[in-house]
Amino acid sequence: MAAVAALPVSLSGRFKGSFAYFTIKDRLPQILTRVIDTLHRHKNEFFEEHGEKGVEAEKRAISFLSKLRNELQTDKPVTPLEDELPDAALWNQYLDYQRNLSNGNGGPSWFQSPWLYVECYMYRRIHAALAQNPPIDDFDVFKEGKAQNFFESQEAVIALCTYFQELLKNIKDLDEKQLQEELFKLLQVSLWGNKCDLSFSAGENSSQKSSPLQSLENMIPYILVNDMEKLWSLLVNAKKRNTEKSNVRVDIILDNAGFELVSDLVLADFLLSSKLADEVHFHGKSIPWYVSDTTKHDFNWTIKQLQSANHMWMSRCGINWEGNLKKGVWVYHDHMFWTLPHDFSSMAEVAPDLYADLQKSNLLLFKGDLNYRKLTGDRKWEYTVPFHQALNKFHPAPLCSLRTLKSDTQAGLKPGQGEQIQASEPEWMESHDHVLLDIPVAREQMNHYRAAAETAQSELAALLVKYDCAQSELLELRSRMVSKEASFQELKAEAESYKENNARQMSRLLSLQTRIQEMEEEVCVLTTSKNQAELTAQVAFKENWELKEELREQNAKLNKYLNECEESMSQASKISRKYEEFLTELSGFLDTNIREKEKPQEHLTSKVSEICKENLTLKDQVAALQEAISVHEMESKASRETITRLVSEVTKEQKKAAGYYQDVEKFSKDLDSAIIGRQNLEMEIRNLQDKLTANQKALDTSKQELHNLKKSSSELDRSLKSSREEVRTAQTSLVAFKEQIATLLSGRSAIVKPSEKAILETIQEINCKEKRKEIMVSQLESQIAKLTEALENQTRLYQEALERSRKAEKCSETFQDQLKHLEEELLSVDLMQDGLKLENQKYLKFLEQLNEKMKLDSLAAEVGFDMNADAILARVEQLVKLEGDAVIENKTMAYSLRRKLKTQKEKLESKELHMNLLRQKITQLEEEKQVRTTLAVERDEANLAVRKLHKMVERLQKQLDLAREMNTDLKAKLSETNELKIKTLEQNRTIEELSKSQGKLERMKEKAEKQLTSVKSELLLKECKATEDKEKNKTMLEAVTNEMKVLKTALAELAKRERQLADFREVVSRMLGLNIASLALPDYEIITRLEGLIHFHQHHCFPCVCLKDVARAPEEHSQRNIELLH
């Protein structure tokens, strides 16, 4: 007797540094945080769909999941499930099994228990968090990630669909080798598609971005175990052994949604179109599982997405696959066992119906790493252990595993292969880069293994005895451990208190994180405002720098003018000194020289000519002054044009303000119209409610009249046959009426069942929708009121800004006037300088004319030396006497020139004062420019706020349009209610016609009574015969009355019996889990369920074989019976 080899240790988080440890420590908390984040992000959707109940359910689910995350991270014990879902009992039984395995070494916890059990337990708790919190119990937290993975793999899906559709065109012309090559290609695509796993990437992107068909040849060296040849021969042999009655069936146990699911569907379609298989069965998960595992919703959603795609070959694939489902060639199953923590070796015990169903298959294709882990029990197998040994007697049918390596478990490698890869790639077990396509041994080898297993069972019996002895010893050890458990519990209580404190601190940290996020948002807003302020400051600095440069230029000009003025003043002082010396010298010689002159008249004429020349020079000065005045007038015109431009800009801004006021008035009018519309809607809703109440009253009256008609018909029709027929017709009419009401109430999306409860529920839903609309309208009104308040505040700010701008413009105008005045004064100073220069020139010309008149040049030439001054003095001495009157006039002119010089000095001092004032005014102007920049910034902010308000108003208008559309829908429903009224009126007409027919019958009765009176008159003649007939008739009537009584009692008993049967049918159907509300529930379904239960009970209680039941019972009945027993 060979000893049975013990199973290896399960992979667990207690081995620090292992992949299981890092998964439980890092990856599983990340998945939980992503689930919490998705629930929080869908908070508004829950509120819109379910109101406050949805928000409360979301909060409860988040608290449940945060508690679960705390338990995981702190390695708390695994607690039993407290929900009432169908699989809760099986989960708790498995937890007890794990506790028994621990043998008193502490209960199962997150890091001490098997990795497979803990990971499955987390996803089951996520499902419980949503299932226990309606109305969000149907929400799939992993739906967004799966959809994103599908849409990001569009290029790869398009490439695969186009390749497959082109292959289908020529598939009939392919020989056996070509079919084998195409099958191997599609198997490799399905194999490498298993890399798109969201649970391995903790929910992050893992989509297939490029076509895998291009890199299949390069990826062949990375396939560690390749049994594609065996798979081909298995399919070919199954097809050869196929008969007309039995079909070749292939079962695909699905893994991930997205691109991998599309590759699996393409493989299944190829198996059908190449006639290697006649039917394909898909097995998916019944609940959201391992982030990206395929559920029934994902299966149908992918086919619909492909069917409605814009690409031709994608839509063709979707249409063909929808047809395969309708034909029954493709079948989808979602058994509960796939989401249990058990490995597949216990399937025959836990789910015998699923095991029996898989035995009908010719080939089982297990996809993904999770299915491989459950096939091998998720144990630390040696690399060279055969794959069939790692299966641990699980072999319902020939199976094949398509798996990308994502965990530490691996079996079926060649000797030295694992060590060689380990040396080159230390993390090859979790790298996604190595795959398996592994098939265990065939059925002939399994028979050999079964014989060996029978021999091993005999040895197990002996081992069980030893096991019992070991258990007795363990009981003694447990009694010793009880004393230690008290201290351990105290330590546990302290640890729980520490954990609670940690949880409180975590909640505080979360609140602080939210506060930090809010502060960061505020900092972002402040930075944006700072940037705007810096931009405005830079603009202001540039303007100040330009103004400073202008001031520097003006200061330079002023310095030049001052220097020129000083030079002119020095020159004038020099000239005045010379002129005074000349006058003193002339005054000394006035009396004598004038009288000694020979021709005084010529001197006078020369004086007159000089005066004329001076007049001409004055006229030239006047013309120059006129030209300067014209230039000043041009500059004044330019300044006026700038003023007009400023006035036009002010008018434009006033027009804009008027436009904003008009917009505000429009918004107020829209508000009034919306309020009026709301009032109209409320009136219409009230009218609808009144009409509904009237319709209900009319329905009640019609029901009463129908009851009266039934009574009258029962009195008129004495026979049982006619009464039953009328009851049947009444029932059919009621059913038809309910169906008509259901068809009227059913819309495009929802279908209403023809039952009173469903009709009432739909009417209540309509009322709830109307209430929601009223709430939405009130919310919109409150938003509009807030917006109007904001508009009023912004208009006030805008008016204040306008007033400030107007004041600034007035100040700027005053400063511009002052600048013009100062510029005119500067021009007058320039003119005075020009006048002094002209007087200097006149003085020089006067000296030259004197030289010419006295002919001193000719004398100097004759004598041979310069005698300018001496000659002039001598000549003056000669002419002084003759020019006494002229000297007196010159004195008066000198006095006048002195006075002018004094006035010019005073004016220069006053101009320096004016320059200081100008500098002060320029500083004031710079400050006002800064004020203008601030006002411009405020204007820009006001304009931005107005734009935001415009956008808000547009949104509100869109919401109002939606409300109007909802009102139109309500009006359509009102029209449907009017149609119902019309139908009720038609029914009233039919009732009136029936009443008329009753009147006709009564008239017929009266006619019959008249005929009876006539017959009685005739009968009086025949009294003798009538008496005998009466006696006979009396006896007959008594007998008939007795029979009628008996019939009535029998009918009452039959009615009671029917009620009892109906109650018994309802009780049985409820026990069997059937839908009682459906009217078309046949009796044969209940009978088949009961037969299956009896048969299952017999199989459990008494070992028996029923070939009839096996032939009759389909897959669905066996599954339902097992679910009911559990």
Assign 3-class secondary structure to 708-730: HHHHHHHHHCCCHHHHHHHHHHH
962 CA to centre of own chain: 20
Q: Which phi and psi (to 5°) does residue 81 adopt?
A: -75, 140
Could you tell me which residues come within 8 angstroms of residue 1074 by beta carbon, excluding any fewer than 6 positions away?
1081, 1085, 1086, 1089
Tell me how far apart the alpha carbons of residues 586 and 306 are, in angstroms, rounded to a whole number: 124
Q: What is the mean pLDDT of each run of 10 residues along the chain (1126 residues)?
A: 64 86 91 92 90 92 93 92 92 91 75 93 95 91 91 90 92 90 91 67 53 75 86 89 77 93 95 94 95 94 93 93 95 95 94 95 93 92 88 91 83 80 61 51 46 63 72 74 70 75 77 77 77 76 78 77 75 69 50 46 50 71 74 72 73 75 75 76 77 72 69 61 64 72 64 72 76 77 75 74 72 72 72 74 71 60 49 60 61 71 72 73 76 78 78 79 77 75 78 79 78 72 72 77 80 83 78 64 73 73 44 44 38
CB atoms within 10 A of CB 928: 16
Q: Are 1076 and 1069 in contact (CB under 8 A)?
A: yes
Structure token digits, residue 832:
């005075």
CB atoms within 10 A of CB 1058: 10
**Whole-prediction pTM value?**
0.45
199 CA to centre of own chain: 22
User: What b-and-e string marks burial along 390-413, b requiring 16 or more CB atoms within 10 Å of the CB?
Assistant: bbbebbbbbbbbbbbbbbbbbbbb
pLDDT score, position 574: 78
Give the side-chain half-sphere CA count within 13 A for 125: 25
Tell me how far apart the alpha carbons of residues 888 and 955 are, in angstroms, rounded to a whole number: 97
Tell me how far apart the alpha carbons of residues 77 and 75 are, in angstroms, rounded to a whole number: 7
Could you tell me which residues come within 8 angstroms of residue 443 by beta carbon, excluding any fewer than 6 positions away?
395, 398
Sheet of strand 435-438, all strands in order from the earlier edge strand to the far edge: 223-226, 435-438, 399-404, 363-367, 249-253, 279-283, 330-333
Could you tell me which residues come within 8 angstroms of residue 8 by beta carbon, excluding any fewer than 6 positions away?
379, 380, 381, 382
CB atoms within 10 A of CB 773: 19
Q: Are 710 and 726 in contact (CB under 8 A)?
A: yes
pLDDT score, position 1037: 76
Q: Are 773 and 966 in contact (CB under 8 A)?
A: yes
Sign of CA dihedral 318, 324, 328, 330: negative
> Which H or E element spans position 438?
strand 435-438
1102 CA to centre of own chain: 59
Tell me how far apart the alpha carbons of residues 183 and 137 are, in angstroms, rounded to a whole number: 41
Rg of the chain over all Cα atoms, to the nearest angstrom: 56
Closest CA to 713 of 1009, 998, 1043, 1054: 998
Structure token digits, residue 489:
């519990």
Tell me how far apart the alpha carbons of residues 712 and 714 are, in angstroms, rounded to a whole number: 5
359 CA to centre of own chain: 46
Q: How far is CA 376 from CA 199, 393, 396, in A?
A: 20, 10, 15
Q: Are 258 and 286 in contact (CB under 8 A)?
A: no
Q: Which phi and psi (to 5°) does residue 399 adopt?
A: -130, 160
The three-state secondary structure class of 311 is coil
Residue type, 864: G
